[in-house]
């Protein structure tokens, strides 16, 4: 039984090495040598990915770190202070990346870079302080922060690359788990409705495509099929229109509209998780609550809408 498989177990599947975490077998990729040059490229990529998934306006150049700090410390309004704190954290990430880039250039010029080197410590301080502010940073959807994604550059800096890559498989497994939980609640909520008679297999197809995309790196030759399948399955899901009775009444129309919006929300949430490749527990819980409320009342609003017989 798979429940007895030890986390981190590896096996060959069709010539591809896969690793087992969180109940899933996932693709593995070669780990780069644990050098400053490889860490620099990884931290740069993780920083770009971070800004790609967080709210707009946070990609402040590291050269403006002092300005960003002053703006954050002097802001009294709580809402503006949160945003300025997120901007300050973005500037610290970019400052750390700038430092690391210059350290690698020095090393390539023949300068020995030791962990005790002052700029190495400064780089670590910037990444660590930025991570402490992750609670202020929202995902681009505006629903929650993604602490796991925000902490990745600091982890890549502070631990060996092999350990970092292994931790990524755990996060991908957790992301797959959330995708399946969202798909399960969507099937349980909508497949039982007469207005969506064929939606169950469509949801399952989308979830499967999402999990494959989640484990596939952009550099993998399979990315073309993985992304195309994922995007096409998403289009099929939101293209599922409710089948209405010949003369639908107001309750049926309102319920169909609410259901269709929830399906779009579920599609978007799975999209966010798949692209970020980390779990989004708060958003997942909130979505499941809304689906359960809809299943019980026919609405996600406070008012009750009777379900058609």
Same domain, 62 and 145: yes
Q: What percent of the chain has pLDDT over 90?
A: 50
110 domain-assigned: yes
8 domain-assigned: no
29 domain-assigned: no
* Dist. CA 138–CA 152, nearest whole Å: 16
Give tens-digit pLDDT for 92-148.
989 988 888 888 888 888 878 777 778 888 888 888 888 888 888 888 776 766 766
Torsion over CA of 193, 261, 143 and 206, rounded to 10 degrees? Answer: 60
Dihedral sign (CA 20, 21, 25, 26): negative
Same domain, 68 and 148: yes
270 domain-assigned: yes
* Dist. CA 137–CA 121, nearest whole Å: 24
Per-residue pLDDT averaged across 55-67, rounded?
A: 93
* Dist. CA 79–CA 82, nearest whole Å: 5
Same domain, 151 and 220: no
Q: Among 30-34, 156-160, 177-181, which is the least confidently predicted range?
A: 156-160
Same domain, 128 and 65: yes
179 domain-assigned: yes
End of a domain among 158, 192, 222? 158
CB within 8 Å of 230: residues ≥ 6 apart: 206, 209, 210, 212, 213, 274
Name the residue among 18, 33, 16 with its Cα closest to residue 7: 18
* Dist. CA 148–CA 166, nearest whole Å: 14
End of a domain among 110, 125, 158? 158
* Dist. CA 257–CA 241, nearest whole Å: 10
* Dist. CA 102–CA 123, nearest whole Å: 11
Same domain, 283 and 181: yes
Per the CB < 8 A criterion, the answer to whether 16 and 62 are in contact is: no
* Dist. CA 210–CA 232, nearest whole Å: 11
End of a domain among 158, 183, 198? 158
Name the residue among 59, 83, 54, 81 with its Cα closest to residue 142: 54
* Dist. CA 4–CA 159, nearest whole Å: 29
19 domain-assigned: no
Residue 222 DSSP code: T
Same domain, 149 and 181: no
Residue ranges with strand state E in the chain: 10-13, 16-21, 24-27
* CA dist 129 → 5, 85, 98, 148, 187 (Å): 38, 11, 16, 15, 42
* CA dist 16 → 19, 226, 302 (Å): 10, 16, 50
What domain range is 202 assigned to?
Answer: 172-297
CB within 8 Å of 67: residues ≥ 6 apart: none
Give tens-digit pLDDT for 65-79.
999 999 999 999 999
Same domain, 197 and 290: yes
pLDDT at 210 over 90: yes
Number of domain units in the chain: 2
CB within 8 Å of 287: residues ≥ 6 apart: 182, 185, 265, 266, 269
Identify the band that residue 303 occupies on the pLDDT scale cut at 50, 70 and 90: very low
């Amino acid at each position: 039984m798979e429940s007895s498989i030890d986390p981190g177990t590896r096996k060959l599947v069709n010539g591809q090495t896969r690793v087992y975490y969180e109940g899933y077998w996932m693709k593995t990729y070669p780990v780069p040598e644990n050098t400053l040059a490889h860490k620099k490229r990884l931290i740069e990529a993780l920083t770009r990915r971070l800004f790609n998934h967080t709210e707009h306006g946070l990609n402040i150049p590291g050269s403006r770190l002092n300005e960003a700090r002053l703006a954050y410390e002097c802001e009294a309004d709580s809402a503006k202070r949160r945003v300025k704190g997120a901007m300050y954290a973005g500037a610290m990430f970019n400052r750390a990346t700038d430092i690391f880039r210059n350290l690698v250039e020095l090393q390539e010029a023949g300068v020995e870079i030791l962990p005790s080197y002052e700029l190495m410590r400064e780089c670590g301080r910037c990444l660590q302080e930025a991570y402490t502010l992750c609670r202020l940073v929202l995902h681009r959807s505006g629903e929650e922060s993604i602490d796991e994604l925000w902490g990745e550059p600091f982890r890549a800096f502070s631990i060996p690359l092999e350990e970092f890559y292994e931790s990524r498989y755990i996060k991908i497994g957790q992301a797959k788990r959330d995708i399946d939980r969202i798909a399960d609640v969507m099937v349980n909520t909508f497949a039982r409705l007469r207005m969506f008679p064929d939606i169950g297999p469509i949801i399952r197809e989308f979830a499967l495509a999402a999990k494959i995309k989640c484990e596939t790196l952009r550099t993998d030759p399979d990315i073309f099929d993985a992304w195309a399948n994922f995007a096409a399955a998403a289009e099929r899901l939101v293209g599922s229109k409710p089948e209405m009775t010949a003369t639908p009444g107001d309750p049926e129309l309102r319920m169909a509209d609410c259901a269709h919006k929830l399906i779009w929300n579920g599609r978007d949430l799975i999209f966010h998780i798949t692209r970020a490749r980390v779990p989004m527990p708060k958003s997942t819980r909130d979505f499941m609550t809304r689906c359960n409320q809809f299943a019980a009342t026919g609405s996600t609003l406070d008012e009750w809408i009777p379900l058609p017989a």
